[in-house]
Every structure is written in structure tokens, then in C-alpha cells.
């Protein structure tokens, strides 16, 4: 059966023997940990929505390998329509979970590798693509969550991999055997890592011949021997340990990041998709990055939630009819829909690669992501402006329930008479969560640094824009000949 139910997904995670540390201690159960569980719930939502007939067209696809119905997160894009549906899927799930749902990176890694492995084979007569397709069928048949692991710790940014004082600052091959390779290193900022069945490793930068030991791509089970996870912290993360739910803002869903350490991990040849073909490392990075920059349609969905919360708190405050509030809500919608235009545009302008995989327009994907580094911050600022200072000075849920303080909380934290104080506190906590709390990692920091830094997109925009053509057009209209400077 190629599609899992949410419960089957959760049960499958229980079968994994992950080595996970948080707050200096190894976790006994990732599935049941109260800090991690909201992120698991967000991934489970991707399985639930795929089972919902209302969203079937967006959430599912037909495998080009088996012809079976599969979850779109395991699909290789076969048309421009697939690319457009991917953007719509991101917005949909973002609006339902209000957070990062963690499966985009793996999906983008699969699609990038479907192109790069084909291109490497064409040049070097290797067999990476056939290995990859066999692996892809395994992922689709078991409806697996894949963690796309690209970002290395990098060490001294001024030095290439082979010149690092500590050679493990970029993941590398340390041994070659008859049956496979041994790798060592780490991957940082890994979204949804411990909610994944598989880890797909890719290079993080373009490589030179001297860096060939670092030009490696492979996939391994997430609980493979030698893999250790160290959970990252998030603002307000320990609120999830409290008995109440109001102060969490979003009590059901969330995200997580982790450092993945590869301590001499053995990788069999059948799971290796690049091995020392250094000239293709940069190409794989760019292809993955373009796909993943398109994936930030998810921030549009989270923006929908934040805009809805801002409108609601304005009504609860009795300020929704003020002209400046209305104007701010319009501006929030304008920015959010502009982001949506970008992710749809780069999909609609996509094209077919020689491998058969459809690839987004990389220029428009980078323009879209550049906007994502800015617009969510302004949307968040406007939401905080509308919410007011009470968002960060409001007492706790315990004070709302305490016999000694509840009456004062209900009296002095009410806005309009018709709305209970608790409802006002709840919507304020949601805005706090999205703009300052644990969800702000997924909405703001991810918007800035996810899929590469803002400067990385500007470099790609400069590289991809055809300035000569723009100059030619301008000169022609100005009556300047082609031979003029």
C-alpha cells in the first residue's frame, strides 16, 4: 500500500531506534516527547490531508514509476501542473498547521537528484539514476518522510572544504570499501529530522577537484548506526511542558530542527547517488535550492493564519473599524498574496529537463525567495502593531484559572464586551507564537535563512538575469546601434 494513514505513520516512527539528545540527555521516546510531538503532528497532517477526498487533487499524484496513487511529497514532477500543485499544497498545509510541516526538503531533494543523477550518468556512464529510481520506488511504496540534508557546519567560511583546519566541517568520504563508503561529518539546521524515516545527504556548495571527497550524495535510514541527533532549541519551547495549552499559542502543531552527526557511517553502494563527481556538486545545490525556494509557498499559508489572527484581535480590541487598522490588514494581504504570485509564477514558467523531471524557473524561484526574506517580517510587524503591547505583557494561563486572580484577569483583559477575556488571550498567544515564539522559527528565521541566505538568492538573480538582452532592447528603442558601447 503506497499511502500511509496518520496512525500508520506514527506507528512507523515507533519502530525506529533513533539516537536523539535534547537538553543533554538521550530521549527514550521521540514520538511521545511533549516538545517534539507538535512537530510530529504537523507531519502527520500531511498524511491526513492526503486521505481527505476534498484535497486529493492537490495532496496526491500518480507515480511515474508504478502508476500508483502516492502522496505528492514523494512524487517527481511530471508537468508544469505538478509544479503549480506543489505551490498550492504548501499554502494549504501551512494554513492548516500554522507552522513548518517538514516534508518539503525531502521532496525537493528527490526531485533535484532525479535530474542530477541522470546528468552525471550521461557524462560519466555511471548508474546513479537507476539506483536513484529504485530508491525512489522504495520511498513511494512505503510513503516515507525524507529529511533533505544539505547544510554543513562549514567551519571557517573563508576556506573551501579541503583547507578546513578540521576536515569534518563538511561531510566527507573517509573510506572506500568494496561494498560501499564510510562518511563522517554533520548536517546542521535539519528541519523535521527526527520525524523522518530517511536522510538524503547532498553537498552544500560548489566543489573543486581538491574537494572531491566532499562531493557525495546518498540516502540512509534515519536510525542507521553512527547517526546521532542533537535537538535545537526554540524560543518558548519549554512552554510545551506546561499543563495548559493557551500559553503555547498553537497547542497542536509545531516544528523542530536538529544537528545530525554522521560518525563514520557506512553507506552501501546502492544508496550512493554521487561519488566524487565534484563538477556536479554546484549544479545539484542550485537545482535543489530552486525547488526549495519555490517551496516557501508554505509561508503564504502561515501568513494566512497570522492575518486572520490580526483581524480577529482587532475585532476583539474594538479597533477593527479604525482606518489605519484596515489599511494595515490590506497591506498584510497585499504582501502575502505577492508572495503567492512568486511561487505560482516560478512553477508556471517551469520546463522539462532531459531526465523527464519538470524544473521550476530558477530566476523566478530566487526572486520569490528573496521576497520571502522580507515580507513575512513586515507582516509580523504589522500583526504585533495591531495586537498591542498586551501580547507580551499578558499574565499566564495559570493566572487566568487561579481562584485568586481569575476574576481580575477576566475583568481587566477583556476587550469588547461580547468576547470573553480567554478568547482574547488565546488569539494574542497565537500571534506571539507566530511572531516571537517557537513558530517564529518556521515563519521568520526560516524565511530569512531557509534554502540559503538572502545573499545566495541575490547572487543567483545576478547570474540568471540576461542583462545583455535588456541593454539590447533599451538601445534599440533609443536608436543606438548594435556596435555602439
Residue 476 lies in a domain: no
* Residue 212 and residue 250 in one domain: yes
Residue 124 has pLDDT above 70, yes or no: yes
Average pLDDT over residues 119-148: 98
- Percent of the chain with pLDDT strictly greater than 90: 97
CA 475 vs. chain centroid, Å, equals 43
Residue 450 lies in a domain: yes
One of 74, 97, 116, 191 is an active-site residue; which one? 191
Residue 68 lies in a domain: yes
* Residue 214 and residue 344 in one domain: no
Number of domains in the chain: 2
Residue 286 lies in a domain: no
Residue 287 lies in a domain: no
Q: Residue 436: which domain range?
A: 293-466
Average pLDDT over residues 407-423: 97
Query: Which pLDDT does position 485 carry in this prediction?
Result: 65
Residue 483 lies in a domain: no
Active site residue 146: no
Distance from C-alpha of 485 to C-alpha of 475, rounded to nearest angstrom: 10
Distance from C-alpha of 451 to C-alpha of 285, rounded to nearest angstrom: 10
With bands split at pLDDT 50, 70 and 90, how would you rate the model's confidence at 77?
very high
Picking from 224, 249, 280, the residue at the C-terminal end of a domain is 280
Residue 333 has pLDDT above 70, yes or no: yes
Residue 2 has pLDDT above 80, yes or no: no
Query: Which pLDDT does position 325 carry in this prediction?
Result: 98
* Residue 302 and residue 380 in one domain: yes
Query: Which pLDDT does position 135 carry in this prediction?
Result: 98
One of 60, 77, 97, 100 is an active-site residue; which one? 100
Query: Which pLDDT does position 430 carry in this prediction?
Result: 97
* Residue 378 and residue 317 in one domain: yes
User: Residue 47: CB partners within 8 Å, gap ≥ 6?
Assistant: 3, 4, 5, 6, 8, 9, 71, 143
Task: Tell me the pTM.
Answer: 0.96
Active site residue 394: no
* Residue 253 and residue 322 in one domain: no
Residue 1 has pLDDT above 70, yes or no: no
* pLDDT 10s digits, 257-300: 999 999 999 999 999 999 999 999 999 999 999 999 999 999 99
Q: Which CATH number does the domain housing residue 429 bear?
A: 1.20.140.10
* pLDDT 10s digits, 239-250: 999 999 999 999
- Percent of the chain with pLDDT strictly greater than 70: 99
Residue 483 has pLDDT above 90, yes or no: no
One of 257, 286, 315, 397 is an active-site residue; which one? 257
Query: Which pLDDT does position 297 carry in this prediction?
Result: 97
Active site residue 296: yes
* Residue 190 and residue 297 in one domain: no
Average pLDDT over residues 367-393: 97
One of 75, 256, 292, 368 is an active-site residue; which one? 292
One of 135, 296, 358, 443 is an active-site residue; which one? 296
* Residue 333 and residue 419 in one domain: yes
Average pLDDT over residues 314-325: 98
Active site residue 446: yes
* Residue 201 and residue 231 in one domain: yes
Contact by Cβ (8 Å): 335, 306: no
* pLDDT 10s digits, 152-202: 999 999 999 999 999 999 999 999 999 999 999 999 999 999 999 999 999
CA angle at residue 33 from 94 to 51, to 5 degrees?
A: 40
Q: CA dist 276 to 119, 205, 210, 211, 394, Å?
A: 14, 13, 10, 8, 56
Distance from C-alpha of 3 to C-alpha of 60, rounded to nearest angstrom: 9
One of 46, 55, 99, 104 is an active-site residue; which one? 104
One of 298, 343, 346, 394 is an active-site residue; which one? 298
Residue 484 has pLDDT above 80, yes or no: no
Q: Which CATH number does the domain housing residue 213 bear?
A: 2.40.110.10
Query: Which pLDDT does position 22 carry in this prediction?
Result: 98
Active site residue 292: yes
Active site residue 209: no
Average pLDDT over residues 316-345: 98
Amino acid at each position: 500500500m503506497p499511502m500511509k494513514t496518520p496512525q500508520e505513520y506514527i506507528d512507523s516512527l515507533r519502530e525506529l531506534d533513533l539516537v536523539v539528545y535534547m537538553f543533554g540527555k538521550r530521549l527514550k521516546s521521540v514520538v511521545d516527547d511533549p516538545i517534539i510531538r507538535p512537530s510530529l503532528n504537523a507531519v502527520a497532517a500531511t498524511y491526513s490531508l492526503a486521505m481527505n477526498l476534498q484535497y486529493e487533487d492537490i495532496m496526491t499524484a500518480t507515480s511515474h514509476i508504478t502508476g500508483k496513487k502516492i502522496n505528492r511529497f514523494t512524487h517527481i514532477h511530471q508537468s508544469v501542473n505538478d509544479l503549480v500543485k506543489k505551490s498550492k499544497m504548501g499554502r494549504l498545509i501551512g494554513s492548516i498547521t500554522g507552522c513548518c510541516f517538514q516534508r518539503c526538503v525531502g521532496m525537493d531533494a528527490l526531485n533535484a537528484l532525479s535530474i542530477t543523477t541522470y546528468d552525471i550518468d550521461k557524462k560519466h556512464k555511471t548508474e546513479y539514476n537507476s539506483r536513484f529510481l529504485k530508491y525512489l520506488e522504495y520511498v513511494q511504496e512505503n510513503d516515507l518522510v525524507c529529511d533533505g540534508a544539505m547544510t554543513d557546519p562549514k567551519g571557517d567560511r573563508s576556506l573551501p572544504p579541503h583547507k578546513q583546519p578540521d576536515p569534518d566541517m563538511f561531510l566527507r568520504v573517509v573510506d572506500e570499501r568494496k561494498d560501499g563508503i564510510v562518511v563522517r561529518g554533520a548536517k546542521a539546521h535539519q528541519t523535521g529530522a527526527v520525524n523522518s524515516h530517511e536522510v538524503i545527504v547532498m553537498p552544500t556548495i560548489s566543489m573543486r577537484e581538491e574537494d572531491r571527497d566532499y562531493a557525495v550524495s546518498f540516502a540512509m535510514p534515519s536510525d542507521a548506526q553512527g547517526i546521532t541527533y542533537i535537538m535545537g532549541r526554540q524560543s518558548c519551547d519549554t512552554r510545551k511542558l506546561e499543563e495548559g495549552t493557551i500559553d503555547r499559542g498553537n497547542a497542536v502543531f509545531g516544528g523542530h530542527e536538529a544537528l545530525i552527526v554522521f560518525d563514520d557511517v557506512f553507506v552501501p553502494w546502492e544508496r550512493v547517488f554521487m561519488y566524487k563527481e565534484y563538477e556536479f556538486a554546484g549544479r545539484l545545490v542550485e537545482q535543489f535550492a530552486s525547488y526549495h525556494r519555490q517551496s516557501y509557498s508554505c509561508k503564504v499559508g502561515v501568513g494566512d493564519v497570522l492575518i486572520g489572527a490580526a483581524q480577529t484581535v482587532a475585532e476583539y480590541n474594538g479597533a477593527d473599524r479604525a482606518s489605519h487598522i484596515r489599511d494595515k490588514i490590506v497591506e498584510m494581504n497585499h504582501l502575502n498574496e505577492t508572495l503567492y504570485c512568486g511561487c505560482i509564477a516560478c512553477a508556471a514558467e517551469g520546463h522539462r529537463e532531459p531526465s523527464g523531471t519538470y524544473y521550476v524557473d530558477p530566476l523566478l524561484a530566487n526572486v520569490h525567495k528573496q521576497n520571502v526574506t522580507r515580507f513575512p517580517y513586515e507582516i509580523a510587524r504589522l500583526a504585533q502593531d495591531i495586537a498591542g503591547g498586551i501580547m507580551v505583557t499578558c499574565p499566564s494561563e495559570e493566572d487566568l484559572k487561579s481562584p485568586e486572580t481569575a476574576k481580575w484577569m477576566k475583568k481587566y483583559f477583556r476587550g469588547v464586551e461580547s468576547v470573553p477575556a480567554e478568547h482574547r488571550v488565546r488569539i494574542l498567544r497565537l500571534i506571539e507564537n507566530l511572531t516571537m515564539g517557537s513558530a517564529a522559527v518556521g515563519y521568520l528565521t526560516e524565511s530569512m535563512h531557509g534554502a540559503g541566505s538572502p545573499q545566495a538568492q541575490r547572487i543567483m538573480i545576478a547570474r540568471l538575469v540576461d542583462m545583455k538582452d535588456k541593454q539590447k532592447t533599451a538601445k534599440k528603442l533609443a536608436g543606438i546601434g548594435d556596435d555602439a558601447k
